[in-house]
Amino acid sequence: MQFFPSDYFIKLKKEEIFPDPKRPLEIDLGCGDGSFLINLAVNFPSKDFLGVERLLGRVRKVCRRSLKEDLQNLKVLRLESSYTLEWLLPDHCASRIHLLFPDPWPKKKHHKRRLVNEQFCASLVRVLEPNGEFLFKTDYLEYFEESMSVLKSFISLKEIQWDPDSYYPKTDFEKVWTDQGKIIYYARFKPNK
Ligand SMILES: C[S@@+](CC[C@H](N)C(=O)[O-])C[C@H]1O[C@@H](n2cnc3c(N)ncnc32)[C@H](O)[C@@H]1O
């Protein structure tokens, strides 16, 4: 279902997103058509999942698919990811934040539109639980290198190994890129206590 905050200008309380604040909450920034999130929501009914997506058509598609599966643990917010992370989400509410195949903005004049910057890192630390995780994937090497440089130099974040045994479904874009034989770059970080 689509999630509409009662006020877009004050920080939410966790229980405004889903009724039970004790349940783990995972956030997918730029969830696209939502296959990844729907897969997780089906497989982990004891967790809640919030997709953030700015395109209305994609938001509607996720809502339709989630309704078809009768998923009570999945909602989608139609909003810009940086704003959502910086200004709307409550402190330390998320067990995992996923940023999967964000738009790479390859032209130099558009680099400032890229999501990963110092403010984004500070917002990650604010929104993640102390033991939470940030998971990042891209097929775009130059964007990966730039993002890794920002993430690694942010002292309140610490890189950890990607757990090869964790259940982590492929996203729609990942399926396309892997079918084309592209290399996928990935990284995992946690708050540095
Ligand atoms: C390349 S697609 C990847 C979608 C999905 N994560 C996947 O891997 O299949 C990027 C998605 O992020 C959305 N998006 C890009 N920038 C965004 C932003 N600043 N805020 C919210 N959504 C954004 C786009 O509309 C698009 O659906």
What is the atom index within ligand 1 of the atom nearest the CA of 30?
12
Question: Which alpha helices (DSSP H) does 26-183 contain, by range?
Answer: 35-43, 56-68, 81-83, 118-127, 141-152, 172-179
How far apart (Å, rounded) are the C-alpha atoms in residues 104 and 87? 23
Known catalytic residues are: 103
Helix, strand or coil, per DSSP, at residue 18: coil
What pTM value is reported for the model? Answer: 0.97
Ligand 1 centre and the CA of 103: distance in Å?
A: 6
Per-residue 3-state assignment (H helix, E strand, C coil) for 131-160: EEEEEEEECCHHHHHHHHHHHHCCCCEEEE
24-191 domain in CATH 3.40.50.150? Answer: yes
Pocket test for ligand 1, best of 26, 28, 29, 144 (most atoms within 8 A of CB): 29
How far apart (Å, rounded) are the C-alpha atoms in residues 132 and 44? 17
What is the atom index within ligand 1 of the atom nearest the CA of 173?
9
**Residue 106, pLDDT score:** 84
**Residue 37, pLDDT score:** 97
Q: Tokens 């206590």 belong to which residue?
A: 193
Pocket test for ligand 1, best of 81, 85, 170 (most atoms within 8 A of CB): 81
The CA–CA distances, whole Å, from 146 to 38, 109, 131, 153 equal 30, 15, 25, 11
Ligand 1 centre and the CA of 40: distance in Å?
A: 18
**Residue 164, pLDDT score:** 84
Burial class (CB in 10 A: 0-12, 13-18, 19+), 92: middle
**Residue 183, pLDDT score:** 97
**Residues near ligand 1 (Cβ within 6 A):** 30-32, 52-55, 58, 80-81, 100-103, 171-174
**Residue 165, pLDDT score:** 86
pLDDT digits (tens, 9 = 90+) for 48-100: 999 999 999 999 999 999 999 999 999 999 999 999 999 999 999 999 999 99
pLDDT tens, per residue, the chain with 193 residues: 999 999 999 999 999 999 999 999 999 999 999 999 999 999 999 999 999 999 999 999 999 999 999 999 999 999 999 999 999 999 999 999 999 999 988 888 888 889 999 999 999 999 999 999 999 999 999 999 999 999 999 999 999 999 988 999 999 999 999 999 999 999 999 999 7
The separation between the first and the last C-alpha atoms of the chain, rounded to the nearest angstrom, is 35
Looking at the DSSP bridge assignments, the partners of residue 136 are: 99, 187
